[in-house]
Amino acid sequence: MLPAAKQGAGMRPPGERFGLSCALITPFLAAGTIDHARLVAHARRVLAEGCRTITLFGTTGEGPSLGFGERAAALDALRGAGFDFGSTVLGAITASSVQDAAAQANQLFDAGACGMLIAPPFYFKGVDDDGLFAWFGRVFEACHAPRNVFLYHIPSLTQVPLSTELVGRLRAAYPGVIAGIKDSAGDWPTTERFLAAHGDLHILVGDERLLARAVRHGGSGAINGFSNFCAAKLLPMVERGEEVPQVAALVDLLLAYPVTPAIKALVAHVTRDAEFLRTAPPLVDLPDAAVRTLVAAYERLG
């Protein structure tokens, strides 16, 4: 159990919305290091286009490919550029060891980040809720001051799903620590279960095809990759639960490609800056022919 000073109400105030957070891409220089100038400029761009916050080091940000030092340098670059970490910057945690996950979390909290998105340990498969409860608990207890924690449900990549029961156990044991759930399962029954069991938290949807429906049923917003290149188009979905048909068609289009390189290709297109195309191994850049096909299809969608 965490000390009393680290506990809180454990639910969002009535009517409070999370809004839209950009799962920020990470631009790279030709040498393979993070392009801090473009990172800063792009973060400013998506905030100006309607995102309330940015989320660093997530799936779209290639977080699992970024080491501790690279993360530190990126945080320093944003801090040096004057970003208000306490209101606009979250970060994702992707690690399998308790020590590494806690180190990444403390790095964010020590920098003043307003929250963190944490995926379950992903190397061992077939683990049960008891094992996951113990892992998350040890990470929380190793954090200096855990707050605004969003649990990241993305079983397509981790192969480690998060149950509603596990979320309930963690909330009971660590009150005030968990602020919400990011559901990237991509199926409505899962989103519906999270809303029914934990609708007093911020339930965020990663699949844009389900976003407006989730908001109409009590969802609180989204952390997503599409806001890197079309944040303004997503605002009616996030703020009013209005469907935007082109967005669903665009999801179907992108799923024909490796998603993160495809998102980077569209960022490069809308910014007219091909430097955004670069990815970090093991991902590879989208081939030129695929980029042209994707961009043409994107333009046809309007």
- Report, as residue numbers or ranges, the catalytic residues: 152, 182
Residues 6+ apart with CB under 8 A from 42: 24, 25, 27, 228, 267, 271, 276
Residues 6+ apart with CB under 8 A from 237: 208, 211, 212, 215, 222, 243, 244, 247
Cα dihedral 302→53→20→132 (10° resolution): 120
> How would you classify the pairing of strands 202-205 and 19-23?
unpaired
- CA 259 → CA 14, 123, 204, 222, 243, distances in Å? 35, 22, 19, 17, 22
Q: Alpha-carbon distance 165 to 155, whole Å?
A: 16
* Sign, CA torsion 94/96/100/106: positive
* Sign, CA torsion 130/131/132/138: positive
> How crowded is residue 110: how many other Cβ atoms within 10 Å of its Cβ?
12
Q: Alpha-carbon distance 238 to 301, whole Å?
A: 20
